[in-house]
């Protein structure tokens, strides 16, 4: 199938989301010949694919943006506290245009395979258009949440009504006016989209397997005075955020839940709730580390959900029994209130699971639900899905699928032993999805580009993690996770949402110690990595 062009370049970057865009910028600054290959027809990654109604960021826009260019961060104007998908996509497009990166990107093309050629210390990258590129480095900027998870429901592939996954939404949009709509899933994507769908549709049926905690966003236009004040110290502010647990300013409080009285705690919870957003989790320093501390917040959330839903029986079904935070806390605009509408119905799949889709009918054990359109808000094969989708083969022909069959192993989430000169941006074992991802992406891209620069300056031919260092890091990632509530429920952090996927806690908890470790490794001459010369 391939026309063996055998073009040889310095680096292939897979993906044109925020990671791929910045990676290309950095490698070009070093004068390297790098090329981005992207499956979509444009840049933006997450923000290119997730065009469902209501899609927004949940980290405030003033923080969910690049910081590598002071000019860029001063010039760009966000309109709202949490920008819409459209605005974030425009921002990604603007960055590409501003830094003249488009000519280094190939769109509408998927990387199918990447094989290491041992005699040449090169990667042979195969594209789905038949082209082959040879490169010294391959950088997987393929995203943590980019491979949609399609539920294995009998009859789904023969549905006679339109079926849309939130992670792969039609560019032209979907008009639900007058339709009976079914939404499967109650994660962030469903929680953001259902209030808008409920407004449009004739009826909305939400199929819930596990309820989630959600806090209001209280989204609003950005106050120009606030923006001016922040921009006057933007660099400093960004620096401060590196010292914060999630790499984001959540107004972290360093007190324990148990250092304050019950009344004081209630007051603090109310205050955080009134502000809205993910910052709730930073109200005390042990909320995601101590189950008893977590319980106090759970009780608070339960009472809030109960006040937002008129029917107490229904409210009960919407209240999770899991620790708060062990699945990503959702941030909503009028989510629970949809259940007070006559045209919205909740189907609790714990009482009656979906058996099949029969044409345009969702059939559960105890009911038939006719729909005119079905939305799959069923999430992603997270952290590993996109990388494992590519036939990657390293030294000795070992495939990544084989190596990661019992769970992903990557040193610092940046590289995996046996696959020299292949880097992962926000790979498993790095803070990634447990952080403000844009700074984390920048930190990884800079680490990788510095490493390549170091290799070139010192005539190093390859870099590869040492297996012992990798094992020790994977062990450490799990050890840290065990000190928290995170492994305590069936989340995508563990791969539990994908049938047959090995359950291993994948992200690293704690931005400051992670960044410090990355710096220490470099200072010690890339400790834990084997470098070859020549």
Strand partners, 111: 127
Q: Does 185 bind ligand FAD (CB under 6 A)?
A: no
Stretch that binds ligand FAD, among 54-62, 415-423, 449-457, 483-491 (CB under 6 A): 54-62
Q: Which does 386 bind (CB under 5 to 8 A by kind): ligand FAD, ligand N01, none?
A: ligand FAD
End-to-end alpha carbon distance in the chain:
34
Here the tokens at position 466 are 């040492």
Looking at residues 419 to 458 of the shown chain, list those that interact with ligand FAD (rule: CB under 6 A).
425-426, 436-437, 441
As measured in angstroms, the least distance from the Cβ of 159 to ligand FAD is 23
In this structure, the number of other CB atoms found within 10 A of the CB of residue 365 comes to: 10
As measured in angstroms, the least distance from the Cβ of 39 to ligand FAD is 4
Could you say which of 45, 151, 187, 211 contacts ligand FAD (CB under 6 A)? 45
Q: Does 15 bind ligand FAD (CB under 6 A)?
A: yes
What is the DSSP annotation of 432-471? Answer: GGGS-HHHHHHHHHHHHHHHHHHHHHTTEEEEEE-HHHHH
As measured in angstroms, the least distance from the Cβ of 249 to ligand FAD is 13
> How far apart, in whole angstroms, are the C-alpha atoms of residue 165 and residue 150?
8
For residues 253 and 283, the answer to whether their CB atoms sit within 8 Å is: yes
For residue 125, give Cα distances in angstroms to 115, 139, 427: 7, 11, 20
| Residue of closest CB approach to ligand N01 | 187
As measured in angstroms, the least distance from the Cβ of 419 to ligand N01 is 27
Q: Which does 184 bind (CB under 5 to 8 A by kind): ligand N01, ligand FAD, none?
A: ligand N01
Q: Which does 320 bind (CB under 5 to 8 A by kind): ligand N01, ligand FAD, none?
A: none
Give the helix ranges, DSSP H, for 157-278.
188-200, 224-231, 234-241, 262-275
Looking at residues 25 to 44 of the shown chain, list those that interact with ligand FAD (rule: CB under 6 A).
37-40
Q: Contacts with ligand FAD: how many residues (CB under 6 A)?
A: 37
As measured in angstroms, the least distance from the Cβ of 195 to ligand N01 is 12
Residues engaged in binding ligand N01 (CB under 6 A): 57-58, 145, 151, 166, 184-190, 192, 209-210, 328, 331, 349, 354, 377-380, 433, 490, 492, 497
Q: Which does 309 bind (CB under 5 to 8 A by kind): ligand N01, ligand FAD, none?
A: none
Looking at residue 240, what DSSP letter applies?
A: H
Q: Give 456: exposed, middle or buried? Use CB within 10 Å, 0-12, 13-18, 19+.
A: middle
Looking at residues 311 to 340 of the shown chain, list those that interact with ligand FAD (rule: CB under 6 A).
none
> How far apart, in whole angstroms, are the C-alpha atoms of residue 339 and residue 415?
46
Decide: helix, strand or coil at residue 289.
coil
Q: Does 511 bind ligand FAD (CB under 6 A)?
A: no
> How far apart, in whole angstroms, are the C-alpha atoms of residue 379 and residue 290?
27
Q: Does 143 bind ligand FAD (CB under 6 A)?
A: yes
CA neighbor of 215 nearest in space, from 268, 284, 281, 290: 281
Give the helix ranges, DSSP H, for 33-123.
46-49, 70-75, 85-98
Q: Does 142 bind ligand FAD (CB under 6 A)?
A: yes
> Smaller CB distance to ligand N01: residue 26 or 56?
56
> Smaller CB distance to ligand N01: residue 197 or 377?
377
224-247 burial, b if ≥16 CB within 10 A, otherwise e? Answer: eeeeeebbeebeebbeebeebbbb
As measured in angstroms, the least distance from the Cβ of 379 to ligand N01 is 2
State the helix-helix crossing angle for 85-98 and 18-29, rounded to 10 degrees: 10
> Smaller CB distance to ligand FAD: residue 37 or 518?
37
Q: Which does 139 bind (CB under 5 to 8 A by kind): ligand FAD, ligand N01, none?
A: none
As measured in angstroms, the least distance from the Cβ of 213 to ligand FAD is 16
Specify the DSSP element, H or E, that contains 204: strand 203-208
Binding site for ligand FAD (CB under 6 A): 14-20, 37-40, 45-46, 48, 50, 55, 57-59, 64, 110-111, 141-146, 189, 386, 389-390, 425-426, 436-437, 441
């Amino acid at each position: 199938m391939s026309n063996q062009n055998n073009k040889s370049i310095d680096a292939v970057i897979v993906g044109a989301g925020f990671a791929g865009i910045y990676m290309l910028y950095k490698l070009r600054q070093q004068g390297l010949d790098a090329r981005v290959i992207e499956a979509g027809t444009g840049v933006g990654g997450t923000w290119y694919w997730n065009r469902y109604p209501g899609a927004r960021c949940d980290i405030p826009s003033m923080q969910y943006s690049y910081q590598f260019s002071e000019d860029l961060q001063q010039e760009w104007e966000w309109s709202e506290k949490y920008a819409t998908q459209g605005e974030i996509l425009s921002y990604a497009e603007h960055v590409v245009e501003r830094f003249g990166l488009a000519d280094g990107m190939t769109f509408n093309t998927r990387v199918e395979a990447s094989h290491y050629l041992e005699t040449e210390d090169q990667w042979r990258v195969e594209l789905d258009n038949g082209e082959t590129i040879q490169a010294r480095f391959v950088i997987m900027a393929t995203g943590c949440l980019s491979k949609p998870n399609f539920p294995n429901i009998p009859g789904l592939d023969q549905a006679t009504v339109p079926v849309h996954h939130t992670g792969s939404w039609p560019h032209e949009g979907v008009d639900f006016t007058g339709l009976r709509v079914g939404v499967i899933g109650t994660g962030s994507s469903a929680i953001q989209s259902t209030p808008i769908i409920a407004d449009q549709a004739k009826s909305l049926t939400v199929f819930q397997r596990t309820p989630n905690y959600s806090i209001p966003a209280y989204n609003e236009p950005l106050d120009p005075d606030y923006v001016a004040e922040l921009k006057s110290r933007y660099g400093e502010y960004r620096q401060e955020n590196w010292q914060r647990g999630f790499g984001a300013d959540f107004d972290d409080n360093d007190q324990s839940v148990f250092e304050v009285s019950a009344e004081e705690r209630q007051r603090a919870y109310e205050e955080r709730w009134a502000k809205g957003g993910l910052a709730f989790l930073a109200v005390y320093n042990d909320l995601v580390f101590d189950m008893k501390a977590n319980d106090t917040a759970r009780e608070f959330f339960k009472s809030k959900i109960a006040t937002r839903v008129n029917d107490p029986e229904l409210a009960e079904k919407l209240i999770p029994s899991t620790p708060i935070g062990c699945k990503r806390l959702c941030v909503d605009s009028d989510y629970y209130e949809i259940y007070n509408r006559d045209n919205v119905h909740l189907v609790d799949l714990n009482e009656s699971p979906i058996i099949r889709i029969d044409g345009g009918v969702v059939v559960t054990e105890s009911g038939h639900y006719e729909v005119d359109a079905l939305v799959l808000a069923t999430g992603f094969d997270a952290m590993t899905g996109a990388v494992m989708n590519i036939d990657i083969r390293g030294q000795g022909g070992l495939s990544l699928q084989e190596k990661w069959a019992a769970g992903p192993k990557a040193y610092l989430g940046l590289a995996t032993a046996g696959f020299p000169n292949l880097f992962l941006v926000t790979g498993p074992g790095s803070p990634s999805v447990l952080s403000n991802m844009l700074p984390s992406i920048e930190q990884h891209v800079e680490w990788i580009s510095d490493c390549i620069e170091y290799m070139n300056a010192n005539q190093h031919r390859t870099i590869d993690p040492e297996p012992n260092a990798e094992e020790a890091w994977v062990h450490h990632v799990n050890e840290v996770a065990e000190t928290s509530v995170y492994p305590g429920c069936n989340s995508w952090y563990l791969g539990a949402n994908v049938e047959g996927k090995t359950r291993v806690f994948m992200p690293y908890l704690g931005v400051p110690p992670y960044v410090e470790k990355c710096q220490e490794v470099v200072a010690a001459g890339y400790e834990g990595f084997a470098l070859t010369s020549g």
